[in-house]
Amino acid sequence: MKKPPAPTAVPAPSLQNAAASAATARIDLPTMLARFFPWAAAVLAWAVFNPGIFPPDATHILYFAYTRDYCNPHPVILLVLARQVINWLLYPGFITLIQSVFIIQGLRFLASQLLMLADPASRTDAARRDRKSALILLILLAPLTPLLFTAVSFLKDAWMLGGTAWMTGLLASLARRDTPRSIGAEATLVLTCSAMTAFSVLFRYNAVVLMPLFCVLLFVVVQHRTLRWLAVMPIVALVAANATMKSSLTIREEYPERQVMFLDIIGMCVLDPELEKVFPELMSQTRPDYANFYAFGDMTRLYEVAPFNQVMYGNQEPRRDGFKKDAVVPTIYPRVLQHPFTLARVKLYSFLRLYFSTSYSDVFMRGIFQHPIQLPENPHFASLRSQLYEFYDFWLMRSPTRWLMSVHLVWNIGGLALLVWMWRTRHSLRWLVLVPVAYPFTFLPATTAMDFRFLMPSTMVLQVFVLVLVLSGAFSRRNTPAASVR
């Protein structure tokens, strides 16, 4: 009788297997650090600059939030956010911590989603994608861009940057075709993207002109045809948000569009002095040598040109009730429109000045403007802050390296060239790149100051696109990535 075969013993883990496991863990450490890096960068940046960077507009917004004075020259949504942070967290500095996480994580999310579209290797390898996203963030935080300071500067353009990054990243997620989505999941993603789009536009009045483009992009990237009607949801969300704020808050109207109009009228008279006769009620209050003080697209010069409040609001000082009906402004609109070519020249000259770095006083803001509230800076990192200001000021303002990533003209012209290249090669990102390329043109109807931060959302999001293309090897081969949008 044969003996039954002895059971096969399962070998115990050998030293070689243990060594291989340890090696795998060591290899995965860079991925863990890459995933932790955006959170660490956002918190550390805030800790160094705590409570944040607050230029004059920012401290006024905080003052209005403390006093519940919701005035519309500043985005009302920004006043509401500041008020809620003060109510619930009791410390206004937390608003810049939230902002820092919102911006840096938004840029990381954008880079990750673009990599999934443009880089087949990153699409299937999450670790590779996370490492490349962290590398893109590291480049943006280096002294090549002002992201380190922008992340903690309480500015509407900083929030617009974060919103644009999140919204474009959500569009990229919708554009993916590598994994099928249920109708419910797709609808949720579309509604989230619509809400983020409306949220972003609330920070920048000029961005409302891009709403048709956002709706078109949603229509293009939606996978399920039965959901294409949801492409109008960004407009619906924006209208609903504005209606909610107007019905639930007492908003003080100061008609910022009048400031733009008067600035344009002065510019028209500079180009054609004969037009002084067309606007006698305004020019009678304007200093005779106004042309020596005027600068195209610079709202601050209005205070040197004329008694601002009289010209804008008639014979009354701005106040909460009833100054609109006595103002002379509504009677001037038809006369302005009778000279469309002169007005168009003023708009164009003002817009073009935004692109030249010589027009900017600073690429990033510094410190805290101590009026009308007192907000002390953290004394523990004062020396480090001073060193960072000086170091970045040299590389971003005085060094030739500023032409790499800190001059809007280079990046916006490059963006137009990139758009043409993408459409000629039918690249998978060709629809999405329309967002940063089109954004600067929203300032064509109204340019109010020569400020670097105005075009910062466009330039920085475009830089993420270019870095993604470089890391995915798009410029080194002619084939287009497989996961393309229609």
Q: In this structure, are residues 41 and 28 in contact, taking their beta carbons and an 8 Å threshold?
A: no
Q: In this structure, are residues 474 and 418 in contact, taking their beta carbons and an 8 Å threshold?
A: no
In degrees and rounded to multiples of 5, residue 204 shows phi and psi of -135, 110
Distance CA 392, CA 383 (A): 14
Q: Which residues of 279-290 are buried (b: 16+ CB within 10 A; e: fewer)?
A: beebbeebeeeb
Q: What is the pTM of this model?
A: 0.87
Angle at CA of residue 127, ends 126 and 128, nearest 5°: 90
Angle at CA of residue 108, ends 106 and 113, nearest 5°: 95
pLDDT at 320: 41
Tokens of 104: 């840096």
pLDDT at 318: 43
pLDDT at 97: 96
pLDDT at 480: 46
Q: In this structure, are residues 196 and 171 in contact, taking their beta carbons and an 8 Å threshold?
A: no
Instruction: From residue 233, give the alpha-carbon distance in Å to each of 55, 206, 250, 276, 373.
Output: 35, 19, 26, 45, 39
Q: Residue type for 215, please? A: C
Distance CA 167, CA 110 (A): 8
Strand partners, 368: 54
Closest CA to 186 of 198, 196, 201, 176: 176
Low-confidence ranges of the chain (pLDDT < 70): 1-27, 255, 303-330, 356-361, 476-486
Instruction: From residue 353, give the alpha-carbon distance in Å to each of 279, 365, 367.
Output: 26, 20, 26
Distance CA 303, CA 311 (A): 11
Angle at CA of residue 134, ends 478 and 477, nearest 5°: 5
Distance CA 89, CA 106 (A): 23
pLDDT at 400: 85
Tokens of 279: 């606007």
pLDDT at 485: 58
